C-alpha cells in the first residue's frame, strides 16, 4: 500500500450518495443463500449504476473465501475481495468490501457488494 495514490473527494463533478435501501435483498449462489438483509445501503456514484451494499453481518461468511485481489478507488479507498466456492469459477472475486473506506463513504464500512454476473441472483423485493 502506497500513500502517494490520489485521494479524491466526491463533489459536483463526481457525486456519491449513500442512502438506506428499503428493500429485502437476497443473494444466491450455487443454490445457497449467501446474503439476506433488510439493512442494505445503496451507493450511487456519479453516472454508474446504483450498487447495494449489504452488511457483512447479513452475509453467510462460511460460504466466503478471501482472495488476494485488491483494487483502489480514489473516492472510496482500498477494496478487498472474496470468492464464493459454492458458485464455481463464475463466483471468483464475486464480492468486495471497503474495510477502511475514505471518510466520504464511511457508512459502507463492514458492508459488501456483489457483482451481479458472478452470483446466481440478487433479488430485491419491497
**Distance (Å, whole) CA 2 – CA 4:** 6
Q: Which residue(s) pair with 51 in the sheet?
A: 43
Provide the pLDDT for residue 3.
65
pLDDT above 70 covers a percentage of the chain that reads 98
Answer whether 42's CB lies under 8 Å from 22's CB. no
Q: Which residues contact 39 (CB under 8 A, 6 or more apart)?
A: 54, 55, 58
Provide the pLDDT for residue 2.
52
Closest CA to 52 of 13, 86, 81, 26: 26
Residues of the chain under the 70 pLDDT cut: 1-3
Amino acid at each position: 500500500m502506497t500513500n502517494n495514490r490520489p485521494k479524491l473527494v466526491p463533489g459536483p463533478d463526481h457525486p456519491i450518495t449513500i442512502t438506506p435501501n428499503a428493500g429485502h435483498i437476497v443473494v444466491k449462489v450455487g443454490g445457497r443463500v449467501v446474503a439476506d438483509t433488510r439493512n442494505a445501503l445503496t451507493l450511487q456514484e456519479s453516472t454508474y449504476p446504483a450498487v447495494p451494499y449489504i452488511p457483512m453481518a447479513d452475509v453467510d461468511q462460511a460460504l466466503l473465501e478471501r482472495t488476494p485481489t485488491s483494487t483502489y478507488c480514489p473516492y472510496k479507498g482500498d477494496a478487498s475481495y472474496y470468492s464464493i466456492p459454492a458458485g464455481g469459477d463464475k463466483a471468483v472475486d464475486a464480492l468486495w468490501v471497503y474495510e477502511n473506506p475514505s471518510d466520504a463513504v464511511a457508512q459502507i464500512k463492514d458492508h459488501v457488494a456483489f457483482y451481479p454476473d458472478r452470483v446466481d441472483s440478487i433479488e430485491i423485493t419491497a
